[in-house]
Each structure stands twice: as C-alpha cells, then as structure tokens.
C-alpha cells in the first residue's frame, strides 16, 4: 500500500472539528491524496465527483494506488484480501421524466454497491454528485431480496424460481443479461445483479 510521507494533513477531521482543505493539488495527485486519507481513516470515506466518467476514472486510479489490481477474483472484483474496499455507486444516467428505464448493467452495479454498503464500516464510497439526489430503497428491503447459496444447501427448484420471479428476474431460454435465468431439467442458469458473469447451479 502506497502512503504519502509525510502525510498531506497531520490529522483527519473529526465531528465538530474545523474543516480541513487540500488545495492546489495537481489533478494526477488527487487519487493518491484520497488513498492516503482513506487508508488512515477508521470510517467510510465519501468521495463526490462531478460526472460518472470521473467516478470510474477515480476508481481505476485508487485500485492502482491501493494495490488492489493484484487482488481481484475471476469476476474482476476484490477477493477479500484487501482491507480497504472501494465501492462505486453509479448514477442512473437518465434524465427526469425519461420514458425508458436505466440500463440493466447500471441497475446491477447499483444493487451490488448497495449490498456492499450494508456491512461496510471502512473504505471508500465514490459517486457522482447528482446521485445524492436519488432516493434509495430501505435497507430491510434490499436485505430481504438477497440470495445466499453455498455448496450443500437444500435447493428446491420450483421455490427458488418463484423467488427469482418475485424479485424481478425474467425466465429466458438462454441467459445473456443481468436479471435473467433459465431452467433446463436439473440445471439453473442465472445472471445475478452485481455479478460480472452468469452462474450455473446443478442439482
């Protein structure tokens, strides 16, 4: 993990303490400064950016500075070996009163981020500033819609199919997109929201 020496600020602000400001930083130094501050913080650090493109660029830079490009699993996600999670909550990228729904990939990424936030006490949360204006579903609703499966679990195909449909998943012949599932005999293919690739469950 790369930390600035000496640190940019001698101590992090606390509740009720004066605001601390970093100014005149070169653009290329901003991700490094954020990584340094987050590494020394014991709580979740919120980072607001102007545009969605800025958020993704910052996420990529932070993965580099925090060494997480070497700790990704087969789906391109943090494998749990890093102690400073980076969560990106993307914007819907739709205008008010648009007649079409957000892209499935955006919905997937948002659900993944919200699911991670349920148990996150330390790390980085990065989002475009316009995302702050969006209302979120209650935490209890999100927790109630999560599916957690492990090897050896009892699995009833008909029951789980009804659960998927009740959660908005669509039954298809072949799975291609997030939110789809297919049943063929004792095989269930499903493309979970928040996953980089579909999964197969063989009974």
3-state secondary structure of 72: strand
The upper half-sphere exposure of residue 165, i.e. CA atoms within 13 Å in the direction of its Cβ, equals 10
Residue 39 has pLDDT above 70, yes or no: yes
Residue 12 has pLDDT above 70, yes or no: no
The top-level CATH class assigned to 27-141 is alpha beta
Comparing 27-141 with 148-202, is the CATH topology the same?
A: no
Neighbours of 128 (CB within 10 A): 21
Q: pLDDT digits over 146-193, tens only?
A: 777 777 778 888 888 888 898 889 999 999 988 899 999 888 999 988
Whole-Å CA distances, 140 to 97, 132, 164, 167: 28, 20, 18, 14
Q: Which fold is adopted by the domain 148-202?
A: Penicillin-binding protein 1b fold (3.30.2060)
Q: pLDDT digits over 136-146, tens only?
A: 888 877 777 77
Does pTM top 0.85 for this prediction?
A: no
Q: Which residues on neighbouring strands pair with residue 202, listed in sequence order?
A: 187
Non-local CB neighbours of 164 within 8 Å, separated by 6+ positions:
181, 190
Neighbours of 202 (CB within 10 A): 8
φ, ψ (nearest 5 deg) of residue 170: -110, 135
Residues 96, 93: Cα–Cα separation, whole Å: 10
Q: Hey, where are the domains in the chain?
A: 27-141, 148-202
């Amino acid at each position: 993990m790369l930390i600035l020496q000496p640190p940019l600020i001698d101590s992090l602000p606390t509740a009720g303490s004066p605001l601390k400001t970093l100014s005149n930083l070169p653009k290329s130094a901003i991700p490094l400064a954020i990584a340094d501050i987050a590494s020394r913080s014991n709580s979740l650090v919120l980072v607001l950016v102007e545009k969605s493109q800025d958020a993704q660029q910052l996420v990529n830079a932070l993965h580099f500075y925090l060494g997480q490009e070497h700790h990704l699993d087969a789906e391109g996600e943090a494998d749990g070996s890093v102690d400073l999670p980076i969560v990106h909550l993307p914007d819907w990228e739709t205008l008010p009163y648009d007649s079409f729904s957000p892209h499935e990939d955006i919905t997937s990424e948002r659900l993944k981020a919200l699911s991670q936030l349920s148990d996150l006490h330390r790390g980085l949360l990065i989002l475009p500033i316009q995302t702050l204006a969006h209302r979120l579903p209650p935490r209890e609703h999100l927790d109630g819609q999560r599916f957690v499966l492990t090897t050896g679990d009892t699995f009833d195909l008909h029951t789980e199919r009804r659960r998927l449909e009740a959660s908005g998943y669509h039954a298809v012949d072949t799975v291609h997109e997030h939110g789809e599932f297919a049943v063929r005999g004792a095989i269930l293919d499903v493309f979970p929201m928040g996953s980089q690739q579909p999964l197969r469950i063989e009974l």
